[in-house]
């Protein structure tokens, strides 16, 4: 959402509020859209579709938002970005959690959160550098698609999601949830139900 502030610099404060409100409000429908696509297809396809939608909407915004005469389009792109953000984050979390095997869940989730934060400064930095060099804001906005494209390539090369999910489920089913990693039993020897994904 940081780049939205710069791209709408030619609009009034009230118009910026409308854009941010549309991003915020459309996050919930975006999350539901991601769920629907994931249930009909799978979470990997949903994440790929979301990233593609992000690339297309950002490309379209960079082509159409060229000056003050185009400011009436900013809420429309706010809606698109809100849908994409609401769709993107739950799908990536769902993908990661679904393929995480039993045992190192905490450590792997820490790595996931770290990786999600460690490079979050890079897209705004690239946009700012391009803007300070006098490059058109349209090109600066389009440059964000580099990061979305890298993400899409990574998702495409992820492998077979269904196989990875099924292997993780099998491993979780084999490790009883009432036994600690040190071997101590917390349930008095009673069998516990496997976790549901």
185 contact partners, CB below 8 Å, separation of at least 6: 178, 179
Query: Residue 148 in contact with residue 51, Cβ under 8 Å?
Result: yes
Q: For 158-179, how does the pLDDT look when each residue is reduced to its tens digit (9 = 90+)?
A: 888 888 888 888 876 665 555 5
Nearest alpha-carbon partner for 23 in 82, 89, 90 = 82
**Angle formed by the axes of helices 145-156 and 43-64, nearest 10°:** 160
Q: Residue 175: what pLDDT?
A: 59
Q: For 120-149, how does the pLDDT look when each residue is reduced to its tens digit (9 = 90+)?
A: 889 889 988 998 898 888 888 889 899 999
Q: Residue 116: what pLDDT?
A: 81
The arithmetic mean of pLDDT across residues 18-41, rounded, is 91
Out of 12-26, 51-65, 160-174, give the one with best mean pLDDT: 51-65
Distances (CA, A) of 104 to 116, 163, 180, 192: 18, 19, 12, 19
User: Which ranges of 65-160 would DSSP assign to H, the alpha helix?
Assistant: 74-98, 105-118, 122-132, 137-143, 145-156
């Amino acid at each position: 959402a940081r780049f939205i502030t710069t791209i709408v610099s030619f609009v009034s404060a009230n118009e910026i509020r409308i854009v941010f409100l549309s991003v915020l409000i459309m996050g919930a429908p975006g999350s539901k859209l991601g769920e629907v696509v994931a249930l009909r297809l799978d979470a990997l396809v949903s994440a790929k579709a979301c990233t593609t939608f992000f690339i297309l909407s950002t490309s379209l915004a960079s082509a159409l938002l060229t000056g003050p005469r185009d400011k009436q389009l900013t809420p429309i792109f706010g809606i698109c970005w809100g849908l994409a953000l609401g769709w993107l984050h739950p799908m990536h979390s769902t993908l990661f959690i679904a393929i995480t095997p039993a045992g190192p869940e905490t450590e792997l989730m820490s790595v996931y959160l770290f990786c999600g934060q460690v490079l979050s400064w890079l897209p705004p930095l690239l946009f700012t550098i391009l803007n300070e060099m006098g490059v058109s804001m349209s090109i600066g906005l389009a440059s964000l698609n580099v990061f979305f494209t890298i993400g899409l390539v990574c998702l495409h090369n992820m492998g077979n999601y269904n196989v990875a999910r099924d292997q993780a489920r099998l491993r979780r089913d084999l490790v009883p949830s009432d036994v600690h990693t040190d071997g101590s039993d917390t349930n008095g020897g009673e069998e516990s139900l496997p976790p549901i994904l």
